[in-house]
Structure 1
Amino acid sequence: MKNFIQPGNIVDLTAPAGGLASGQAYLFGSLFGVATTGAAEGQRLAVSLEGVFDLPKAAGDSLGEGEAVYWDGTAISATSEGNTLVGHAVAAAPAAATTVYVRVRN
């Protein structure tokens, strides 16, 4: 196919203000992904749009296995209001946990 570019599970996007480190999650418009490499602000970088990642969890939130999870701008949250649905928890995370395993899928 002449117009095929790539499978789409990893895409090249532009790093936001402040740049991104490898493994850092970010919401690019309505696309949520995890940087596979680091990049300075304005540089292109590969971003994974699907897979299971260990991501920072909002303090005090308790998440159950299979529960829908949301991005609050800095961490995964159980709160839907004002946040963006980004995937599902694939392991339970108690309130005291600082991270949670998330299956990301756009």
Structure 2
Amino acid sequence: MKNYIQPGNSISWTNEDVTGAADVASGDGVVAGSIFGVAKVDIPVGESGELDLVGVFSLAKVSAQAWTYGQRIYFDASTGLATTTAASNKLIGVAVEAAANPSGTGKVRLSAAFTL
């Protein structure tokens, strides 16, 4: 097929040098428009790097929340934490393991869906 580009399991993203921009560390969650991904490498402001869109990742979470297997997980870009609170947060996937309250991380299977 002449128009095939790539599988799309990861994408290249530029950490734009705009007001309030911050360096992204490998393993950090990134909201880029309607896309959520996990940085494969450190991505300093003004540089480009790959974001994984699929897979299971251990992500920093709201410590005071307990998660259940299969529960929808959202990402709060203002805190950089995964959460069970929908509100204005982006749906990123589901928990693939129960997580206790308190705990600092939880395992999430990314949905690779657009987080409209």
**Cα deviation per residue 1:27-58 (whole Å; 9 max; x = unaligned)?**
11111100111121121101100100000011
Question: Distance in 2 between the 1:48 and 1:37 partners?
Answer: 10
Match of 1:7 in 2: 7
Question: What is the aligned residue count?
Answer: 106
Match of 2:88 in 1: 82
Code of the residue aligned with 2:102 in structure 1: it is: A
* Runs of 4+ deviating beyond 2 Å: none
Confirm or deny: 8 A CA contact 2:72 2:93 kept in the other structure. Answer: yes
Question: Distance in 2 between the 1:40 and 1:2 partners?
Answer: 34
Q: If the length of structure 1 is used for normalisation, what is the TM-score?
A: 0.94
Q: If the length of structure 2 is used for normalisation, what is the TM-score?
A: 0.86
> Pairwise mapping of residues 55-70 of structure 1 onto structure 2 (< 5 A)?
55-70=59-74
Question: Distance in 2 between the 1:10 and 1:49 partners?
Answer: 5
Shift of 1:19: 2.1
Identity, in percent, stands at 38
